[in-house]
Amino acid sequence: EKDVTLAIARRLRGQLQKRNQRVAMVRDGDQRVGLDQRAAMANAMHPLLYLVVHAGGPGTGVRIYTTLFNGTGGYGSFVPWEWAQAGFTDRSRMIAGSILQELKKLQVPAVQLSVPVRQHHNVAAAAVVIEVAPHDSAAGSHQHASDQWPGAQAGAADHPTCRPTGRGRPAD
């Protein structure tokens, strides 16, 4: 899985950079980076978008996840670490919806879901998890599905919520 997700992330980085988007990856090799460390690294970069790439299990196509948090957080200047994502859920869902639309244009089977996504509870930015399922139910067959989707995510980076507004820069 780590080789598949890293290959997808690198291809996506290339697509985004071709569109003049600045991209930083919290993992660009075979090193292990914990969830809290990833969030701290991302938060230090002040990203406009935190995108997690995951190779999924059974099924086909792509699943796009955002957190279940609702509302803006309402904590003022102090936000508990485990609620950092709360103020960004609307933006995250809008971006996820744009990614879903782009995938559908490419006729890639995709679904958008809101679930308790631990990977980005601590990220103070719009955050989306992209999970690529194998093309068929055979183990290790992520290649075909992963070949179909990176351009779609790059297209979603043109969504107005991903454009620089003076706060931060796009990050992966």
* Residue 144 reports pLDDT greater than 70: no
Find how far residue 134's CA is from the centre of its chain: 18
Nearest by Cα to 52 from 140, 158, 137, 125: 125
Structure tokens at 165: 């507004």
Nearest by Cα to 97 from 141, 51, 128, 58: 128
3-class SS of residue 28: coil
Give the confidence band of 113 by pLDDT, cuts at 50, 70, 90: very high
pLDDT value, residue 44: 92
Stated pTM of the model:
0.76
Question: Using CA atoms, how far apart are residues 159 and 172, in angstroms rounded to an integer?
Answer: 16
Question: Using CA atoms, how far apart are residues 145 and 30, in angstroms rounded to an integer?
Answer: 22
Q: Are 62 and 17 in contact (CB under 8 A)?
A: no
* Residue 134 reports pLDDT greater than 80: no
Q: Which amino acid is at 82?
A: E
The larger pLDDT score, comparing residue 92 to residue 138, is at 92
What does the pLDDT average to over 95-104? 93
